[in-house]
Amino acid sequence: MTQSPTDRPPSPEMEAAIARAGLVPGRSPSPVLLPRPDRLFAGRARRLRTLAGGHSLADWLRFVASLSEASAGVVAGPATHAPDRQWTEDLRALLDRLSGLPPAAAVACDSLKAAPERDIRAMATHIRHGHAAEVDLAAAPLLAAARQVAWTRHAAGLDATAVTPPATATVCPVCGEAPVAGMIHIGATSGGLRYLHCGCCGTAWHHVRAVCVACGNGKGIDYRMIEGGNDGVRAECCPTCKNALKLFLLEKDPDFDPVADDLASLPLDILVGEDGFTRIGGNPFLVMAAA
């Protein structure tokens, strides 16, 4: 199904959506929005548990929700190192908070607790370079969660007005990762604007609408949806470079979370993939899909 995103102005009732999303704007309209860790992880966990109700991936969504709940507790602690070093310490703290995990994840958790830091870092390097098949896939979400904690805490401590928007739209200005999805925002300062959201550090950066994020093409952009699904969830598909980006319209649902709702809308990725489109970026909890 093809449909263009709405350009209607946001209603006054939706003005609080930016705060609920755990983002802090800089100047208006802000080219960069930084995360609010105290809200981001707890809000993501609630969203995942809501989405899990009746979902075919309910167990997976609840597992990621438990990781997000644990992350909310760990991110409140102080950092003693830069995020590239800090995340392994956060991993240890995260593993200590987890309980009641699925069998495979529980085994991975115990293995990571006993693993030396060099092995843990090697696993993360394999995953980041697309070699996830070389590591225990059950450990991958745990590593991803720890990296999110360290980088989100780091991003939250920056000054949004001092963060330079990326020269390349597909690179986060804080951590250098690709966006997990785009969101059409609502509210007084950013209503109607599209922001690309980083799945690692939670930073969002502005990018003009109806223009391909990968190649800059603005002609023939196609918006695809799952027939009968949530009409606020769409895939922006470029006919020129054949890349696609997941897109969420907060006007349709102000509780959208880029990571949580991306996981819950996996069938849309499958649909556009079958049509020959390659996804821009990816979800930190779905690294095994790229192996």
pLDDT one-digit tens code per residue, 158-206? 999 999 887 788 999 999 999 999 999 987 667 789 999 999 999 999 9
Please state the domain extents for the chain: 12-36+158-284, 37-156
Residue 268 scores a pLDDT above 50:
yes
pLDDT of residue 23: 57
CA–CA gap between residue 178 and residue 198 (Å, rounded): 6
pTM for this prediction: 0.88
pLDDT of residue 187: 78
Residue 46 scores a pLDDT above 80:
yes
**CATH fold of the domain at 37-156:** FdhE-like fold (3.90.1670)
Residue 72 scores a pLDDT above 60:
yes
Give Cα separations from 291 to 127, 138, 231, 246 (angstroms).
8, 13, 30, 20
| DSSP states along 110-122 | HHHHHS-HHHHHH
128 band by pLDDT with thresholds 50, 70 and 90: confident
CATH number, span 12-36+158-284? 3.90.1670.10
Tell me the pLDDT tens digit for each residue of 206-257.
999 999 999 999 999 999 999 988 999 999 999 999 999 999 999 999 999 9
Residue of 246, 204, 244, 213 lying closest to 229 (CA atoms): 246
pLDDT of residue 188: 67
Q: Which residue has the higher pLDDT, 22 or 217?
A: 217
Where is average pLDDT lowest: 47-51, 96-100, 198-202, 282-286? 282-286
Residue 1 scores a pLDDT above 60:
no
On the question of a common fold for 12-36+158-284 and 37-156, the answer reads: yes
Q: Given the structure tokens 């109700």, which residue do they identify? A: 53
Q: Which residue has the higher pLDDT, 78 or 132?
A: 78
Residue 68 scores a pLDDT above 50:
yes
CA–CA gap between residue 159 and residue 24 (Å, rounded): 10
288 band by pLDDT with thresholds 50, 70 and 90: low
